[in-house]
Amino acid sequence: MKETYVVRAKKIVTAGPLGAIEQGALVVEDGILLRVVPEGELTPEERALPLVDFGELTVTPALADCHCHLLEYAAGSLYPVAEPAHLLAGKALLLNALCSGVTALGEQICGHPACGLSVEEYRQAVEGLPLTVRFALCGITLGTEGAPHYSALTGSAPVEKYDLLSPQLLGDLVEGNDYPGENVFLNATPANLPLTLTPQAGELVFQREELLQIVKEYHRRGKRVGVHVGGRQGIQMALDCKVDVLHHAHGITPAQMRQAALQGAMVVATPLGGTHLSPNPPEEIAALLEAGVEIAIATDAYLPPSEGLGLSPGKLYGTESLMLLAQPAMVLLREKGWSENDCLRLLTAAPAKVMGCENRFGQLLPGMEATFLAARGIPGLEVTKPEDIRAVYHRGKAVIQRL
């Protein structure tokens, strides 16, 4: 028995080629969008279907955060959990994301000095949940004294840099990787620690030839690769080695923006922070887009905010702040003449593409998943609080309801 119904709302912003539709309607069948049309174009048969009426609310694709650390690093940072309760804390953060309108997450697994859970245990933890989680398997270099290295496949045991380049470990990381996240930490990272505790944050970890070796292995296996990078020198190395996705890219120059656009490299901007440098300001995000770079905004959750953002110092911000972090850039783009539809793509269609899911969700188009939300305005552009998200649907099923 097929489950078919109609959704109507005052406005539907599709984040795709259909643009924004006033007094719009969705026709949903078995979790898939059949039609996305003005309400007046519904057929008599469609008008007879069960109706979900969102009245004056705005319907958009559900949000995607393509760069976060909820299950591995954030769980122990936010909750006083030992390893047996670690995944329970992580699931609480997944629920928080869902309540904030985020139904797709790009989760980084990097190896953690205080937690030895395996990639398989993380994957099992999200099975059957009403959201999409894509895992990036990473090798990480912390900016603490000695710049220790870890990897997604070696848990809490530190490794040497040559291990991250070894055919066995590198091949296993590539083979198990879902999408181009922070697969390679080109710079040592401060993680979510103060810079005073991470004196080696920002140091370049790999030489050009070493990075090229890693990139070639990903591409040889038909996979895209992403890097954690900040600063002109590291960004240039990443571009010259044909990296597919630059995460952070703090400090990118206009010339590098043009090179990224020519190469088709995407950028995942993290306005909250995440590297040793100041994060992407709204003007830089706008300049990237104007240069022709496809860009997604992500949280890198959970992080303390960089200075100058007007956020509470020392507090860790996560997926619930995705709309808030994106708003300055989205408002600036709107002032520059970008459509509300194109602004919304920063939180929907673009991160879906980073995650390799652009044909599944991120836009409201016939044939795609009926994964959407109803809000008091356009997420990020007009509303920033999770409570403004009144309903969330994942593959046609209501999963959050504040109506």
Instruction: Supply the CATH number for residue 53's domain.
Output: 2.30.40.10
> Is 205 a member of any domain?
yes
The number of residues in the chain equals: 403
**Domain identity same for 22 and 147:** no
**Domain identity same for 301 and 324:** yes
Rounded-to-integer distance, Cα 110 and Cα 98, Å: 23
What is the pLDDT at residue 307?
78
Vertex 263 angle, CA 260 and 266, to 5°: 55
> Is 195 a member of any domain?
yes
Q: For residue 20, is it left (φ>0), alpha (ψ between -120 and 50) or beta?
A: beta
pLDDT by residue, tens only, the chain of 403 residues: 689 999 999 999 999 999 999 999 999 999 999 999 999 999 999 999 999 999 999 999 999 999 999 999 999 999 999 999 999 999 999 999 999 999 999 999 999 999 999 999 999 999 999 999 999 999 999 999 999 999 999 989 999 999 999 999 999 999 999 999 999 999 999 887 777 888 898 999 999 999 999 999 999 999 999 999 999 999 999 999 999 999 999 999 999 999 999 999 999 999 999 999 999 999 999 999 999 999 999 999 999 888 778 899 889 999 999 999 999 999 999 999 999 999 999 999 999 999 999 999 999 999 999 999 999 999 999 999 999 999 999 999 999 999 7
**Domain identity same for 51 and 88:** no
**Domain identity same for 44 and 168:** no
Query: 77 exposed, middle or buried (CB, 10 Å; 0-12, 13-18, 19+)?
Result: middle
User: Could you write out the DSSP letters of every residue in 78-115?
Assistant: HS---HHHHHHHHHHHHHHHHHTTEEEEEEEE--BTTB
Q: Tokens representing 117?
A: 């859970």
- Residue 23's domain comprises 4-61+363-401
- Residue 166's SS3 state is coil
**Domain identity same for 184 and 150:** yes
- Residue 11's SS3 state is strand
> Is 280 a member of any domain?
yes
**Domain identity same for 85 and 211:** yes
Q: How many CA atoms lie within 13 A of 13 on its CB side?
A: 26
What is the pLDDT at residue 271?
96
Rounded-to-integer distance, Cα 120 and Cα 300, Å: 22
**Torsion sign over Cα 125, 351, 195, 164:** positive
What is the pLDDT at residue 85?
97
Cβ–Cβ < 8 Å for 321, 274: no
Residue 226 has φ and ψ, to the nearest 5°, of: -120, 155
Contacts for 98 with CB less than 8 Å, ≥ 6 apart? 130, 131, 392, 399, 400
**Domain identity same for 345 and 376:** no
- Residue 231's SS3 state is coil
Q: Provide the 10 A C-beta neighbour count for residue 354.
A: 30
Vertex 120 angle, CA 117 and 122, to 5°: 60
Rounded-to-integer distance, Cα 51 and Cα 33, Å: 14
Q: Tokens representing 247?
A: 């995460």
Cβ–Cβ < 8 Å for 330, 346: yes
User: Among 351, 371, 392, which residue terminates a domain?
Assistant: 351
Cβ–Cβ < 8 Å for 240, 276: no
**Domain identity same for 296 and 279:** yes
Q: What's the number of domains the chain is made of?
A: 2
Q: How many CA atoms lie within 13 A of 119 on its CB side?
A: 21
- Residue 317's SS3 state is strand
**Domain identity same for 191 and 74:** yes
> Is 83 a member of any domain?
yes
**Maximum pairwise Cα distance, the chain:** 69
Which CATH number do you get for residue 136?
A: 3.20.20.140
> Is 356 a member of any domain?
no
**DSSP H or E stretch at residue 186:** none
**Domain identity same for 280 and 322:** yes
Q: Provide the 10 A C-beta neighbour count for residue 124.
A: 11
**DSSP H or E stretch at residue 175:** helix 167-176
What is the pLDDT at residue 195?
73
**Torsion sign over Cα 320, 190, 150, 185:** positive
**Domain identity same for 76 and 18:** no
Residue 330 has φ and ψ, to the nearest 5°, of: -65, -40
> Is 299 a member of any domain?
yes
**Domain identity same for 145 and 235:** yes
Residue among 129, 130, 98, 132 at smallest CA distance from 391: 98
Q: Which amino acid is at 17?
A: P
Vertex 142 angle, CA 140 and 144, to 5°: 170
> Is 358 a member of any domain?
no
> Is 128 a member of any domain?
yes
